[in-house]
Structure 1
Amino acid sequence: MKKQNIPYSFLDLAIIGEEKTTAETLKNVLYTAQCAEKEGYTRYWMAEHHNMPHIASSATSVLIGYVAGGTQTIKVGSGGIMLPNHPPLVIAEQFGTLEALYPNRIDLGLGRAPGTDQLTAMALRRNDLTTANYFPQQIEELKAFFSLENKNAKVRAFPGEGQNVPMWILGSSTDSAYLAAELGLPYAFASHFAPEQLQMAGRIYKNNFKPSVQLEKSYFMPCINVIMADTQYDAEYLATSFYRMFLGIIRNDRKPMQKPIHSINGLWSVQEEAMVYQKTACSFIGTEEELLHEVQRFSDILEVDELMITTPVYDYEERVKSMAKFARLMQKVNN
C-alpha cells in the first residue's frame, strides 16, 4: 500500500570544493538550510567528521547553532554526534543550550563510529578507544542528564536537565538496528554510503521495536543520494563530482570536491567503477519524471517513515535547484 505524507529532510556534509574556502562553504551551509526551509524540508542535519581537510563540520554543535539561528522553523540537528568521542555531560550541556535557544527545533542524532581515523580517535578520546564498547551505556547516561529525575544527582547538566531533545540512533549496519529497537528510538540509516544492509536493518528495527517514553511506534529514516536536473545528461554531469569523491575514498586519495566533467570514463578501472557503484547504490540521479517512480518504489519497499537526502554536487546553485526539484517530487509522491 502506498505510504502517504512522507516527510523529507536534508543531510549537509559541508564538503569543501576545489577553489572554495572553509568560510565560503559554511556560509553556503546556512544558505542551503534557508532554501530547504522554503521548500518544505522537515529537518536539516550535519555530520561530525574529524581530521578531514575538505569537510567543514567538525564542530557540529557550533554549526547547528549557526544554522538554527539563521532559520525560523526547520528542525536542525546532528547526523550525527559521535558520542564515544565526547563525555555525555558535555553533549547534554551543548544540546540543552541549543534547545533553550531554539525550542522544539533541535535533533540529537547519535552514532557509535569515530567519524575519523584511529589515530585521531585516540586524540579525541584521550587514548581510550574502548569507549565505543559502552555506546548503549553512554546513551543511558545522556538520557539521565536530560531527565528531571536527575535533579538529586551530584552531577547535573545545566542547561540540559529537563530539556526535550529528541534522540535518534544512526547506523550503517544491523547492530545499530537492534540498538535503536531496544531503546525505542527513531532510526536513521546511512544508506547514502553504506547501502548493503539497509533492507535487513530496517526489517530488524521494525520487527524488534519496543515502545519508549519518546516513541510509541518505530520510525525509520534512510538517507539517500539525490542529484536532479532538467535533463538526465545534466544530472549525470553534476554527478561526476560525486563519483570522483567516492573514487578518492576508495583510493585513499581524498581531495576537495572536484568540478564536474563531461565523462568519467578512463578515470577509473573496471574494478573501481564497480566498487563506487556498490557504495552508491542508493543514489537517485536524473529528472523529476524519471525518478518519481523509483523514489516511490524505494519508499514503499522499505516502508520508510521519512526520507533524508544528501546532494553532493560542486555548484551551490545547482545543489539548491536539485533540492527544489526533489521537494516537488515528494509532493507528488504524497498526493
Structure 2
Amino acid sequence: MKLIMKKLTDIRLSVLDLAPITEGSQASDAFRNSLDLARHVEQLGFHRYWVAEHHNMPGIASSATAVLIGHIASGTTTIRVGSGGIMLPNHAPLVVAEQFGTLETLYPNRIDLGLGRAPGTDQLTAQALRRDGQSGEVFPQLLEELRSYLSSEQGQVRAIPGEGLNIPIYLLGSSGFSARLAGLLGLPFAFASHFSPENTLPALKIYRDSFQPSEILAEPYVIVGLNVIAADEDEKAHFLATSQQQAFLSLIRRTPSTLKPPVQSMEQIWTPYEKMIVDKQLQTTMIGSPNTVKEKLQAFLDETGADEFMINTHIYDHNDRLRSYEIVSELGSGNH
C-alpha cells in the first residue's frame, strides 16, 4: 500500500499519560498533574487523552486505569479519554465491559477502549494479577468475549451497563501479533513506537497488508505512540530529556524508580553499553526546539503515514511538560 504524504496539520495529535510520580512527590501529585495536563491539552485542541496500565512501578500511578479515566473525564468536557491501554489478560472481560460501560454511560461519546496483550509489568506481578495464569496468547479469545458483552445481542451473561454501547475499541501493540489481529478484525491499531521503535514499520506493514474492511472501519487507521520532549531551545530540551533517559536506565537495571530530576550530563550515570541500549529504545524520541521537533515529526510522519500521533512526554517539571505540549500543538492545527 502506497502511503499518502501528509503534513502535521493533516493528522490528529493526542496524549499518552503514564501519570508519572516524580522524585519527592506522591501519587496524589501525579493525579493532580494529570488532570491539569488534560485540561491544558483540551484547550490546545488535542484529540484524545489516554492513560496506560502499569503495575509495580514506583514512578507510574496509572495502575487502576479505569478509575483514573473517570477522574480525567469528570474534570474535562470535550476531549476523548481512554486507555492506552487496558492489558486485557490481566482482567475478566466482563469486568472490563462493565467498567467501560459505566464510563461511557457517565461520559457519552467520549470514552475509548484501547487494549493490549502484554502484562504491563514484571513476571512476578503478572502472576499476582492473573490468578488463573493465563498468558497473552489467549488475547484473541478474551477480545471476542469482551466484544460480545458490548454488542447489542443479549446473552445469558450481560454487561450492564455496557451492552449495546458504541465504545470504540483500539488494539495496541509493540510487535506484529496485535497488528495482524487488528487488521483481520478491521479495528484501528495503535503502535508503541515510544518503546519499541525498531518494530514500528514492520508492524504497520503487517496491519495494512492484513486489513479487512469492517462495520467499524473502511480503511486502516494507524495511531503511533512516540516520545516528544520539546522546549524553546534545543539545549534545554536535551537537558529535560535526561529524566526520561534515567527512567529507561532504571528499567534496564531492573531498579524502577520515581522520575528523577534532569541532569547536565548522563556520562557519569550510565556505562557506554547502557547508553547504547537506552539510545536504541529511545531512537524515535523527538527532542529539541520547535523547529527541530517539527522537522523530526514530519520525517517520522513521512515514514509511517500515521493518521494520528499519540505523544508521551516524560518530563520532571510539570510546567516544562505543559510547555512541551504547547509547542507540539503549535506545530499542527489539524488536531480536532
Scaled to the shorter chain, the TM-score interval is: over 0.9
Q: 2 CA distance for matches of 1:112 and 1:40?
A: 30
Tell me the TM-score normalised to structure 1 length: 0.96
SS at match of 1:197: helix
Query: How many Å apart are 1:245 and its aligned residue?
Result: 0.7
2:6 partner letter: K
Query: Are 2:197 and 2:283, in contact at CA under 8 Å, matched by a contact in 1?
Result: yes
Percent same amino acid at aligned positions? 51
The residue number in structure 2 matching 1:140 is 144
- 1:161 partner SS: coil
SS of residue matched to 2:83:
strand
Q: In structure 2, give the amino acid aligned to 1:67.
A: I
Shift of 1:291: 2.0
Partner of 2:230: 228
Segments of 5+ residues of structure 1 without an aligned counterpart are none
User: What is residue 54 of structure 1 aligned with on the other side?
Assistant: 59
Are 2:116 and 1:111 aligned? yes
The whole-number CA distance in structure 1 between the counterparts of 2:300 and 2:135 is 36
Aligned match for 2:317, one of 315, 318, 321: 315
Q: Which residue matches 2:127? A: 122
**More off after superposition, 128-137 vs 213-222:** 128-137
Letter in 2 for 1:183: L
Aligned residue pairs total 330
For residue 42 of structure 1, what is the aligned residue in structure 2? 47
2:76 equivalent to 1:76: no
Aligned AA (1:139): L
Tell me which residue corresponds to 2:160.
158
**Aligned residue identity for 2:282:** T
TM-score normalised by L of structure 2: 0.96
CA-to-aligned-CA distance 1:62-119 (integer Å, 9 cap, x gap): 0000000000100000000000011110000000000011111000000001111222
1:277 equivalent in alignment to 2:279 = yes
Find the aligned partners of 2:205 and 2:156 in 1 and give their Cα distance: 41
Q: Counterpart in 2 of 1:3?
A: 6
Deviation of 1:53 (Å): 2.3
Aligned counterpart, 1:198: 200
**Segment drifting more, 203-212 vs 76-85:** 203-212
What stretches of structure 2 of length at least 5 have no aligned partner? none
Which amino acid counterpart does residue 316 of structure 1 have in structure 2? H
Deviation at 1:131? 4.1
Q: SS state of the match for residue 161, structure 2?
A: coil
Shift of 1:330: 2.2
Structure 2 distance, partners of 1:135, 1:275, is 29
Deviation at 1:290, TM superposition (A): 1.5
| 1:177-192 equivalent positions in 2, closer than 5 A | 177-192=179-194
Following TM superposition, the consecutive aligned residue runs of length 4 or more in structure 1 with deviations greater than 4 angstroms are: none
Distance 1:278 1:265 in 2: 16
Deviation at 1:172, TM superposition (A): 0.2
Give the secondary structure class of the aligned counterpart of 2:23. coil
Give the superposition deviation at 1:267: 1.3
Q: What letter matches 1:318 in structure 2?
A: D
Q: Which amino acid aligns with 2:56?
A: N
Of residues 241, 247, 250, the one that matches 2:249 is: 247
CA root-mean-square deviation = 1.2
Of the three residues 80, 95, 105, the one matched with 1:90 is 95
CA drift of 1:130 comes to 2.6
Asked if the contact 2:57–2:257 (Cα under 8 Å) also holds between the matched residues in 1, the reply is: no
